[in-house]
Amino acid sequence: MSKSIVQIAVAGVLLALGTQAAIAAPDWSKVPKRDIQVFHPGVTAMEWIVKKSDHSGTAGLRKGESCVGCHEEKGNLNFNMKRMADKELEPKAAPKTMNFPVSVQAASDAANLYIRLSFKAPAGGADKGDKDNEVKATLLFGDAKVPQGAQVGCWATCHTDARTMPGADEKKTKYTKEGAYELIQWASKGNKVSDGSVTTERKMSGGSTGAKVEGGKSGDGYTLTFTRKNPGEGKTVPFGFAIHADHASGRFHHVSMGYTLGIGADGDIKVTKQ
């Protein structure tokens, strides 16, 4: 065999090994888990959150406090779930399960950020508007231009005039008044992955994260691994997520509050580098 052929063969092997390393999944046994409670928010849009007569936490928000800092206690939520389910905050009907835990893990390598969600999706939903999908899971990553984005998470996209809110325009989707969110969604029918954005309107395509989602239902639970381009080492990235369970549509999801991912930086969830 000639020297040139050997060199080509060796180069091919190294390229293959490098490609496998680049796309190798994280070793999740070495990545810490954090249980985050998601809950049904009813009609508590951003306008409700910043109105003092509705939400006593507005003073804290003005001081720079986060929703998590006020409402999360030892991994649980201190909400009055009975109030969250009554006609004032949920005029249609509340789901039988108002909140449930989602196990969150986050890892990164030079190319990608990986977020793994594990949960049991409850039945007993009050809305079954999405006949095609038993479950959807959505991640939102906000940029620094979203007002109070690091404090409120995805609430900055949720407004009283958006569809499925009482008396709202059914054609108007979630939006931001300033800044932008990157959006990744997994839908159970056909394992469909959407890579989109939320700015002055919500778009379910045209995103730039290079999103991929692997996993699905196993037994009575779901495990989903979201892969996207690494936003960059040394960054703290605001993010939140939502689960549409039991064929729910629109606002009838269970949502997290706003958290931050620390990619080689401070954050509510420290990303494990691998």
- Tens of pLDDT, residue by residue over 44-102, are 999 999 999 999 999 999 999 999 999 999 889 999 999 999 999 999 999 999 999 99
> Could you give the CA distance from residue 45 to residue 184 in angstroms, rounded to a whole number?
21
Considering the domain boundaries, does residue 21 fall inside one?
Answer: no
Considering the domain boundaries, does residue 203 fall inside one?
Answer: yes
- Where does the pLDDT of residue 11 fall: very low under 50, low under 70, confident under 90, or very high at 90 and above? very low
Considering the domain boundaries, does residue 59 fall inside one?
Answer: yes
DSSP classification of residue 116: E
Cα dihedral across residues 90, 238, 157, 46: positive or negative: positive
CATH of the domain at 250: 2.60.40.1190
Q: Which domain holds residue 239?
A: 32-273
DSSP classification of residue 189: G
pLDDT in tens, 139-189: 999 999 999 999 999 999 999 999 999 999 999 999 999 999 999 999 999
Considering the domain boundaries, does residue 200 fall inside one?
Answer: yes
154/15: higher pLDDT: 154
Considering the domain boundaries, does residue 17 fall inside one?
Answer: no
Considering the domain boundaries, does residue 11 fall inside one?
Answer: no
Considering the domain boundaries, does residue 97 fall inside one?
Answer: yes
pLDDT at 263 over 90: yes
The Cβ of residue 169 has, within 10 Å, a number of other Cβ atoms equal to 10
Counting DSSP H helices and E strands in the chain, the numbers are 6, 16
Longest dimension (CA), the chain: 82
- Whether 226 and 261 have beta carbons less than 8 Å apart is answered as no
Buried b (16+ CB within 10 A) or exposed e, 73-84: eeeebeeeeeeb
Per the structure, the count of domains in the chain is 1
pLDDT at 10 over 50: no
Whether the full predicted model's pTM is greater than 0.85, yes or no, is yes
Considering the domain boundaries, does residue 244 fall inside one?
Answer: yes
